[in-house]
Amino acid sequence: MVEAAKEILEGAYDLHVHSAPDVVERRLDDIGLAREARKWGMAGLVIKNHIFETASRASIARRVVEDMKIHGGIVLNYTVGGLNPHAVEACLELGGKVVWMPTIDARNHKTKTGRRGGISLLNEKGRLREPVGQILELIKKRGAVLATGHLSLVEIRALVSEAKAMGVQKIVLTHPEFWITRIPIEAQKELVRKGVFIERCYYSCTLKGQNRIAPEELAHQIREVGPAATILASDLGQKDNPPPPEGLKNMVEELLQRGLKKQALVTMLRNNPRDILD
Ligand SMILES: [Zn+2]
């Protein structure tokens, strides 16, 4: 299994990974992460950060660590002004590849963690707020990836409908197995039918207690929606977890042990992420 997992990691991408600098301690910094990924033969990374854009950091990491496609993006939390088209435009101008909707500052995230407030995509009438349309226009123009972050299912449905109507090509549903963004399988399938990719992150399997997802459940959900519509990512970088590329290797081993085929894993780690980035 270990050898097979290592082979699958060659040429793999991790489109959701956390590194320093950050306001919380991270296992590796951008350069360290890129070097580690190269050691495993990986092809590319997208650095995610909840507070600021990462496209500028990625461009420096690319210069230091050659032969790695290191990219960044922006998460639309309060620190960048929330649903702020100016911040999105600048990030994409810097070469950013992914625009994530609000995560830790999403109203859904605040509610699920017992707090008030937070950013909602919808106004009092249940319609998408105005900046969302401007942001989608920028994403479309640049061919960037729209990722759903930590939104609720109601917001996600409204966002995906509008994005599809406007001609946004690349949409990723962010880790629907994670407890804060958990979405029923039937709703996941409905989004897949609209052309949305489903991202599965190993992070949920590393949690302790009732929020943890067993690898069996991860494998089950992958089978249900199908590898053709799935992207695997680590969402690692936490100081107590293994370095993200090693975590990704562990994820592959767990899924191989639960009967997923090598070709399916190659599709989810190599082909689908590559296609969505290019
Ligand atoms: Zn993350």
- Give the residue from 180, 247, 266, 201 showing the smallest Cα distance to 48: 201
Single-letter amino acid, residue 22: D
Spatial distance between the Cα atoms of 93 and 231, rounded to a whole number of angstroms: 25
Cα(125) to ligand 1 centroid in Å equals 30
Cα(199) to ligand 1 centroid in Å equals 11
Residue 193 has phi, psi (to 5 degrees) of -60, -25
DSSP codes, 109-140: HHHHTT----B-SB-TTSPBPHHHHHHHHHHH
Cα(170) to ligand 1 centroid in Å equals 19
**278 pLDDT band (50/70/90 cuts)?**
confident
- Mean pLDDT across the chain: 97
Residue range 105-146, pLDDT digits in tens:
999 999 999 999 999 999 999 999 999 999 999 999 999 999
Cα(47) to ligand 1 centroid in Å equals 9
Other beta carbons less than 10 A from residue 110's beta carbon: 19
**1 pLDDT band (50/70/90 cuts)?**
confident
Cα(104) to ligand 1 centroid in Å equals 10
Q: Which CATH class name applies to 2-276?
A: alpha beta
Q: How far apart are the first and last CA of the chain?
A: 30
- Sequence spans of domains, the chain: 2-276
Cα(174) to ligand 1 centroid in Å equals 9
Cα(61) to ligand 1 centroid in Å equals 19
CB 266 within 8 A of CB 4: no
Q: Is 36 left (phi over 0), alpha (psi -120 to 50) or beta?
A: alpha
Put simply, whether the predicted model's pTM sits higher than 0.85 gets the answer yes
Cα(17) to ligand 1 centroid in Å equals 6
Spatial distance between the Cα atoms of 63 and 85, rounded to a whole number of angstroms: 28
Predicted pLDDT at 2: 83
Cα(18) to ligand 1 centroid in Å equals 6
Ranges of H-type helices in 19-147: 30-39, 55-64, 85-93, 107-112, 130-142
Cα(168) to ligand 1 centroid in Å equals 22
Residue range 155-201, pLDDT digits in tens:
999 999 999 999 999 999 999 999 999 999 999 999 999 999 999 99
